[in-house]
Amino acid sequence: MDLLLLATDQNTPFNYFPIALQLVVAIGFVIVMMVVTHLLGPKRRTSDKLINFESGIPSVGNARQPMAIKYFLVAILFVLFDVEVIFFYPYAINFAELGWEGFKAVLLFVAFFLCGFIYIVKKGALEWEE
């Protein structure tokens, strides 16, 4: 039980032991299930069974089709703001300690992002239907 005791220590990689354990169990469960069903189930391969199931409707055309660029646009903007939000995390933890100096720094940073956000909205990048 050494490991579990270690896990109670502050701030070592072994804090993550429970998470790792959960990951292992989760992935292991999926793998075991997939392998077991594969091995246990009967296999009858007919041509009808091998085609994609599309609610009984015969599949038409190709799944790979060019799609509207709006999806990319929204996704890219999401990534940018995602990165912004991550910067808040270290700030939140040091909130009291950093005081006004830190607050000003974060405020300026957010102000820039707000400018960017207003710019995006005004330019109509998030409007779905034009």
Partner 1 sequence: MKAIIAATIIGVVLMFTGILVKEKKGIATLAAILFFLLLGVNIWELSTLDANQPQAFFNNMLRIDRYSVWFNTLMTACTVLYVMLSGREIQKVGIHVSDYFALMSFMLVGLYMLSGYSNMLVLFLGIEIISIPQYILAGSDKKNLKSSEASLKYFLMGAFTTGILLMGITLLYGASGTFDIARFTFLQADSLNPMALCGIIFLIIAFAFKVSAAPMHMWTPDVYDGSPTPFTAFMSTVVKAAAFIAFIKLFHISFNSLSGHWTMIIAVITAATLLVGNVTAVFQQSVKRMMAYSSIAQAGFMLFAVLSISATSWQGLIIYAVSYTVATMGVFAVLMKLKDFTYDGFNGLAKREPLLAFVMTIFLLSLAGIPLTGGFMAKYFMLTAAVEQGQVLWLVIFALLMAAISVYYYFRVIIAMYFKQGSPEMSSPVTAGDRLVLVATAALVILLGVAPGLLLKFI
Partner 2 sequence: MVIQEALFWFLTVMAIVCALGVILSRNPISSVLFLIATFFAISGHYILLNAQFLGIVNIIVYAGAIMVLFLFVIMLMNLNADTEPQKNRLIQFAGVISGGILFLVVLAAMRTVGGTAVDHTTTDIGLIKNLGKVLFTQYVLPFEISSVLFLSAMIGAIVIGKKE
Could you tell which of partner 1, partner 2, none binds residue 122, using a CB distance below 5 to 8 A set by kind?
Answer: partner 1
Q: Is 109 in the site for partner 2 (CB under 8 A)?
A: yes
Give, as ranges, the residues between 32 and 91 that touch partner 2 (CB under 8 A). 62, 64-67, 69, 71-73, 75-80, 82-84, 86-87, 89-91
**Contact predicate 79/72, CB 8 Å:** no
Can you read off the two tokens belonging to residue 84?
Answer: 């912004």
* Cβ distance to partner 2 smaller for residue 43 or 64: 64
Q: Is 122 in the site for partner 1 (CB under 8 A)?
A: yes
With b for 16 or more beta-carbon neighbours within 10 A and e for fewer, the 96-113 pattern comes to: eeeeeeeeeebeeeeeeb
CB burial of residue 17 (10 Å; 0-12, 13-18, 19+)? middle
Query: In the complex, what is the shortest distance from the CB of residue 42 to partner 2, in angstroms, rounded to a whole number?
Result: 29
**Contact predicate 14/7, CB 8 Å:** yes
Q: Is 3 in the site for partner 2 (CB under 8 A)?
A: yes
Determine the size of the site formed for partner 1 (CB under 8 A).
6
